[in-house]
């Protein structure tokens, strides 16, 4: 029996319970086109369908029983309201007793069922190598990319593979070049910030520039002369409108989110369903996804950023954190893997099991700069806790030695507040005991 326990701990394990659940309204499941979307996800992830009558909360009992690693809520866009998103946030925190979100979730919708099925059918993992952006990002964390400054007129920065970022002076109107980053350059990740509504994105924040608009599922760049440049960019990509108001609020067929998914090849996007204000729920995606390249999938990065928000809300409550708590959504299949190309990170982190003990190690990689802000563009940047998702659920957790790191450990993750100062004398390690939940 001792030998069997040893094997369970050291061999990569599945998440306790079935790993994937598709949640869909009975009325949508009765429509062949939307049933096909749900069936595709079930086939792709060996999952199961949970249906409800009038409210997703009806499946809570089944979710508690299964405790799935991933949950995908499938719905036509007309159903995906701000209230719908808020309800899912609340529902997914109720699967077990702790106050944290208990499943990595997303909402799979689209301009129509065919668009949703195209998203659901995408199986090839995406490695993000090319990044295009309408705002600054940390160039040293990506293989190649280009960004146009929303704050400084005519400023553009480009990095080619193996090279250093180079600053260029360009025309004031960057509408067509930004469309080209999608159509011709074929960005794997696109990032935007600045003023936006459900119907448009204002490219310049502090100066006059063009717009991106949406028309019946098509994304269009409209330059300062009124000329329109259609976005036709079918290569699968991910999109982070992290600093935009309302980009993920779906309000009719002309909504921007639908156009990004339908004509820009977006397979996952994370954004606000309300006006941005505080910024923690959005800008943190850069901290976890882009600035820790290769560590998390985009869905995992969204998940751990939300865990970080909930932890901070519990320990340092503020009106801003409450505002952000239930208003950011990931659209797409949460188990589809989109990950930054692996690059050196500020620290490495690992979880090991040895002689009855779980050991979480953080290995600094930038000496005194290890825990400093990497890039400060945006709101609420830096200071995010270190989060590690467990490969399977753990129970009966007892901390043996935390080296003063003050961790939070639940059944599915460990969270360590970011150390305030680096010390070469300090051991960044947490040791604890726990039992694995293995009920497959």
H or E segment to which residue 195 belongs:
none
What CA–CA distances, in Å, run from 67 to 21, 73, 85, 339?
9, 15, 20, 24
Backbone angles phi and psi of 41, in degrees to 5: -65, -40
Strand order in the sheet with 408-409: 386-389, 413-416, 408-409
Backbone φ and ψ of 144, nearest 5°: -155, 160
Confidence of residue 438 (pLDDT cuts 50, 70, 90): low
CA 358 to CA 47: how far, in whole Å? 30
| For the chain, domain boundaries | 18-342, 347-436
Hey, what are 263's tokens?
């004509």
pTM across the whole model = 0.95
Q: What is the pLDDT of residue 12?
A: 34
The continuous run of DSSP H or E covering 132 comes out as: strand 130-133
Residue 266 exposed, middle or buried by CB count within 10 Å (0-12, 13-18, 19+): buried
Q: Does the pLDDT of residue 229 top 90, yes or no?
A: yes
Q: Do the bridges between strand 357-364 and strand 386-389 make them parallel or antiparallel, or are there none, so unpaired?
A: unpaired
Contact 187, 237 (CB under 8 A): yes
Helix 113-120, helix 32-45: angle, nearest 10: 10
Please, which residues bridge with residue 108 across strands? 74
Give the tens place of pLDDT for each residue, 159-182. 999 999 999 999 999 999 999 999
8-state DSSP, 326: T
Euclidean distance between the first and final Cα of the chain, in Å?
18
d(CA 230, CA 226): 13
Asked if 327 contacts 86 with a C-beta cutoff of 8 angstroms, the reply is: yes
Q: pLDDT of 78-131, one tens digit each?
A: 999 999 999 999 999 999 999 999 999 999 999 999 999 999 999 999 999 999
pLDDT at 11: 32
Q: Cβ contacts of residue 306 below 8 Å, gap of 6+?
A: 101, 281, 328
* For range 240-259, the mean pLDDT: 98
Are residues 346 and 382 in contact, defined by beta-carbon separation less than 8 angstroms?
Answer: no
pLDDT in tens, 47-93: 999 999 999 999 999 999 999 999 999 999 999 999 999 999 999 99
Distance CA 274, CA 313 (A): 19
* Main-chain phi, psi angles of 159, to 5 degrees: -130, 130
Consecutive H or E run containing 161: none
Question: Would residue 260 be called left, alpha or beta, if left means φ above 0 and alpha means ψ between -120 and 50 degrees?
Answer: alpha
**Range 204-209 average pLDDT:** 97
Determine the Cα–Cα distance for residues 430 and 399; give it in Å rounded to an integer. Answer: 8
User: Is it the case that residue 1 has pLDDT exceeding 70?
Assistant: no
Which of these, 324, 373, 327, lies nearest to 346 by C-alpha position? 373
Pairing of strands 126-128, 338-340: parallel
pLDDT at position 16, please?
44
Structure tokens at 78: 């007309």
Count of Cβ atoms closer than 10 Å to residue 55 Cβ: 12
Contact 17, 67 (CB under 8 A): yes
- With a CB cutoff of 8 Å and minimum separation 6, the contacts of 226 are none
Average pLDDT of the residues in 267-288: 98
* Residues near 368 by beta carbon (within 8 Å), at least 6 away in sequence: 422
Q: Which of 228, 252, 250 is nearest to 241 (CA)?
A: 250
Note the Cα 198 to chain centre separation in Å. 20
As a residue count, the chain comes to 440
């Amino acid at each position: 029996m001792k030998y069997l326990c040893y094997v369970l701990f050291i061999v990569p394990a599945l998440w306790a319970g079935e790993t994937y659940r598709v949640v869909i309204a009975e009325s949508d499941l009765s429509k062949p086109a939307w049933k096909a979307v749900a069936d595709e996800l079930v086939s792709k992830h060996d999952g199961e369908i949970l249906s409800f009558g009038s409210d997703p909360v009806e499946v809570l009992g089944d979710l508690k029983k299964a405790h799935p690693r991933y949950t995908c809520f499938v719905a036509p866009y007309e159903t995906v309201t701000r209230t719908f998103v808020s309800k899912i946030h609340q529902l997914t925190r109720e699967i077990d007793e702790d106050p944290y979100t208990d499943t990595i979730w997303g909402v799979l919708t689209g301009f129509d069922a065919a668009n949703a099925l195209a998203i659901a059918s995408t199986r090839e993992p995406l490695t993000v190598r090319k990044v295009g952006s309408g705002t600054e990002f940390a160039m040293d964390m990506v293989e190649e990319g280009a960004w146009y400054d929303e704050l400084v007129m005519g400023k553009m920065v480009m990095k080619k593979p193996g090279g250093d970022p180079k600053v260029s002076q360009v025309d004031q109107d960057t509408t067509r070049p930004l469309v080209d980053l999608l159509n011709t350059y074929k960005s794997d990740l696109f990032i935007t910030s600045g003023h936006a509504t459900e119907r448009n994105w204002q490219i310049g924040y502090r100066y006059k520039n063009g717009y991106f608009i949406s028309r019946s599922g098509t994304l269009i760049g409209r330059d300062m002369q009124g000329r329109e440049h259609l976005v036709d960019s079918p290569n699968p990509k991910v999109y982070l409108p992290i600093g935009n108001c309302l980009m993920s609020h779906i309000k009719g067929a002309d909504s921007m989110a639908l156009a990004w998914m339908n004509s820009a090849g977006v397979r996952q996007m994370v954004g606000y369903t309300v006006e941005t204000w505080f910024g923690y729920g959005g800008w943190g995606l850069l901290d976890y996804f882009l600035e820790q390249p290769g560590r998390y999938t985009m869905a995992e990065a969204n998940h751990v950023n939300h865990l970080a928000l909930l932890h901070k809300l519990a320990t340092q409550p503020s009106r801003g954190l409450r505002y952000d708590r239930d208003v950011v959504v990931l659209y797409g299949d949460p188990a589809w893997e989109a990950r930054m190309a692996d690059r050196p990170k500020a620290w490495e982190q690992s979880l090991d099991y040895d002689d009855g003990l779980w050991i979480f190690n953080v290995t600094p990689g930038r000496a005194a700069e290890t825990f400093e802000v990497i890039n400060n563009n945006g709101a609420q940047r830096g200071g995010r806790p270190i989060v590690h998702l467990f490969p399977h659920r753990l129970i009966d957790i007892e901390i043996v030695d935390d080296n003063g790191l003050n961790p939070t450990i639940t059944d599915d993750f460990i969270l360590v507040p970011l150390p305030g100062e680096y010390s070469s004398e300090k051991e960044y390690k947490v040791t604890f005991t726990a039992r694995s939940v293995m009920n497959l």
